[in-house]
Amino acid sequence: MKQDDKQIKLYQDAFNFLLDGDHELVVYGVLKKLHISKTNTYYEDMVQEGMLSFVEKYIRAINLKKEPESYLAFIYRGVYWDLINYLHKQITITEHIEVPDDNVDPLAELPDNQNSVGYYDTHILSKELMQYLNAKEIRYLVLAYDYGMNISEIAKECNVSRKSVHAWRNKVIAKLQKKF
């Protein structure tokens, strides 16, 4: 018997095993455990994926020379994990979430603000500007640009009103326009 004929026979045996008795209930049991009901968008697709997974796990059990008594338990675990992976993939596609590659360092993708042209331009400009500002205006500038605080946060930090912070900001803007 040729290799292709053996493979075809193995698949036929796997599908026959799936359809024998109540073996299809393995797939429905997995769906129930995953809380996938008939109203779920992915239900029909997951039934089909589960059936295909059942066949693949049956063939794998035979190739691994598992005992026939342990086939269903082995198949159940395999179908369970395959359907979890399928569901994860579908949700990822639906939600447009990019799954990170395990070989990529996510921190490498973050911009390094300390080495950007904008960082140097801003800091050169702010150092020159600070020569013309008083202590309150400098504090506003540092809190707003170095720490990213908004008007309310700066007012709370400095124990002053928002109106005072607006005044500091307006004075900084006026001095910036005048000097530069």
Give Cα separations from 176 to 80, 102, 131 (angstroms): 65, 47, 11
Contact 54, 26 (CB under 8 A): yes
pLDDT in tens, the chain (180 residues): 577 788 888 888 888 887 887 888 888 888 888 888 888 888 888 888 988 888 888 888 888 888 877 778 888 888 899 888 888 888 777 766 565 666 766 666 565 555 555 565 666 666 777 788 888 888 888 888 777 888 898 999 899 999 999 998 998 888 878 876
- Domain locations in the chain? 3-95, 113-175
Which fold is adopted by the domain 113-175? Answer: Arc Repressor Mutant, subunit A (1.10.10)
